[in-house]
């Protein structure tokens, strides 16, 4: 065989019969995921903010191989990794998110400025700027810019909800002027969406005190002494009939010790009262996160929701 720069199409297939060998038939459409790590979407101060990109692919449609066919334009799920608003373990959910990507969605995991360097609503601002970056570079990553869903877990669920509330904000926080941060839907996984109730965080003795996660993201303030700050942080306090929001899907475990399930119930009821499309799924026995939220049944619900939102 000649040694040269073979293209895939030109390269001759091995067809020799090998005694005892087994043949596995393929179509070329078997699904896989390409992981692009640490894609910078902007720098703030001296801190680069990065995305972890998971792109569906198969042998017949490879991201890294030129093709005469037009690049696909796929729905995109932008996922905000929770962290109690502190520094994120940004790679921690890559294996779980890949289960969603393999179903045909580009997935982007967002790094935000943590509460040690930026206060609320910086995290939602960063998520929206990540969305605008992805829209600007949609063709580079096989994304349909009109089919974007915002999701997140824990503090990331709170951030996703606030991204929905602020998605039409065109103030100085928009680092991509002329590009909308709007999304077609929001998926909130056990979000820390409200701190109004004294048992919002059942195992957190310092709830709403200056050194609590919610106190830190509000500038190290005591939210018990400043209830207006607790209200400013809590999502349900900012929703009425005139609020513009896309459809919302909420998951929460019934034994969540970190973020009380009742917070999601409060938000869900407020959404229903104000006539916003919302669905709530209570995951029986589930604690704060874990495999329960990535089982096939939950993924089926998320996939159906995403496809319905972007159809």
pLDDT one-digit tens code per residue, 27-42:
999 999 999 999 999 9
In a domain, 6, yes or no: no
Residues whose CB is less than 8 angstroms from the CB of residue 304 and which lie 6 or more positions away in sequence, other chains included? none
Classify residue 107 by burial, with Cβ atoms within 10 Å: 0-12, 13-18, 19+. Answer: buried
In a domain, 293, yes or no: yes
Token code pair at residue 39: 């894609």
In a domain, 16, yes or no: no
pLDDT of 67 strictly over 80: no
* CA quadruple 122, 123, 124, 129: dihedral, nearest 10: 80
Give which of 46, 60, 100 is closest to 76, Cα–Cα.
100
pLDDT band, residue 181 (cuts 50/70/90) = very high
Position of tokens 């829209």? 135
Count of domains for the chain: 1
pTM for the complete prediction? 0.94
> 53 vs 1, which has greater pLDDT?
53
In a domain, 20, yes or no: no
**CB contact at 8 A, 277 and 248:** yes
Q: Which domain holds residue 238?
A: 32-310
| Three-state DSSP state, 189 | strand
pLDDT of 49 strictly over 70: yes
The chain-wide mean pLDDT, for the chain, equals 94
Omega of the bond prior to 151 within 30 degrees of 0, cis? no
Which pLDDT belongs to residue 8? Answer: 87
Give which of 204, 161, 187, 189 is closest to 290, Cα–Cα.
189
CATH number at residue 306: 3.40.50.1820
Phi, psi of 298 (to 5 degrees): -70, -40
Q: What's the average model confidence in pLDDT over 232-248?
A: 97
In a domain, 114, yes or no: yes
Which pLDDT belongs to residue 172? Answer: 59
What are the tens digits of pLDDT across the range 158-177? 999 999 999 876 665 778 88
In a domain, 180, yes or no: yes
In a domain, 18, yes or no: no
pLDDT of 218 strictly over 90: yes
Q: What's the average model confidence in pLDDT over 92-120?
A: 96
pLDDT of 282 strictly over 90: yes
pLDDT band, residue 184 (cuts 50/70/90) = very high
Q: Where are the alpha helices (DSSP H) in 58-193?
A: 94-101, 122-136, 155-166
Which pLDDT belongs to residue 20? Answer: 97
In a domain, 12, yes or no: no
In 54-77, which positions are buried (b, 16+ CB within 10 angstroms) versus exposed (e)?
bbbbeeeeebeeeeeeeebebbbb
Full strand arrangement of the beta sheet holding 278-283: 32-44, 47-57, 106-110, 74-80, 143-153, 185-189, 248-253, 278-283
């Amino acid at each position: 065989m000649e040694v040269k720069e073979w293209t895939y199409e030109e390269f001759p297939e091995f067809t020799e019969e090998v005694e005892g060998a087994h043949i596995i038939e393929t179509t070329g459409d078997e699904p896989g995921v390409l992981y692009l790590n640490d894609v910078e979407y902007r720098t703030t101060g001296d801190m680069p903010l990065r995305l972890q990109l998971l792109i569906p692919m198969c042998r017949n449609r490879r991201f890294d191989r030129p093709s005469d066919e037009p690049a696909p334009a796929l729905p995109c799920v932008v996922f905000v990794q929770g962290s109690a608003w502190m520094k994120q373990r940004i790679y921690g959910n890559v294996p779980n998110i890949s289960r969603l990507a393999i179903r045909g969605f580009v997935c982007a995991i967002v790094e935000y400025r943590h509460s040690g360097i930026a206060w609320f609503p910086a995290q939602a601002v960063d998520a929206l700027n990540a969305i605008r970056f992805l829209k600007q570079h949609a063709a580079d990553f096989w994304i349909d810019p009109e089919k974007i869903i915002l999701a997140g877990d824990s503090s990331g669920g709170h951030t996703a909800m606030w991204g929905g509330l602020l998605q039409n904000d065109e103030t100085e926080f928009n680092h991509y002027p002329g590009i909308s941060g709007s999304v077609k839907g929001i998926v909130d996984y056990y979000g820390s969406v409200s701190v109004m109730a004294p048992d919002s965080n059942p195992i957190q003795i310092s709830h709403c005190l200056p050194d609590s996660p919610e106190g830190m993201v509000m500038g190290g303030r005591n939210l018990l002494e400043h209830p207006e700050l607790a209200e400013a942080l809590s999502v349900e306090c900012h929703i009425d009939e005139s609020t513009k929001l896309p459809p919302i899907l909420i998951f929460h475990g019934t034994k969540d010790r970190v973020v009380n399930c009742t917070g999601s119930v409060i938000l869900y009821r407020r959404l229903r009262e104000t006539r916003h499309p919302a669905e709530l799924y209570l995951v029986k026995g589930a604690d704060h996160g874990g495999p329960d939220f990535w089982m096939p049944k939950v993924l089926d619900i998320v996939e159906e929701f995403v496809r319905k939102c972007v159809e």
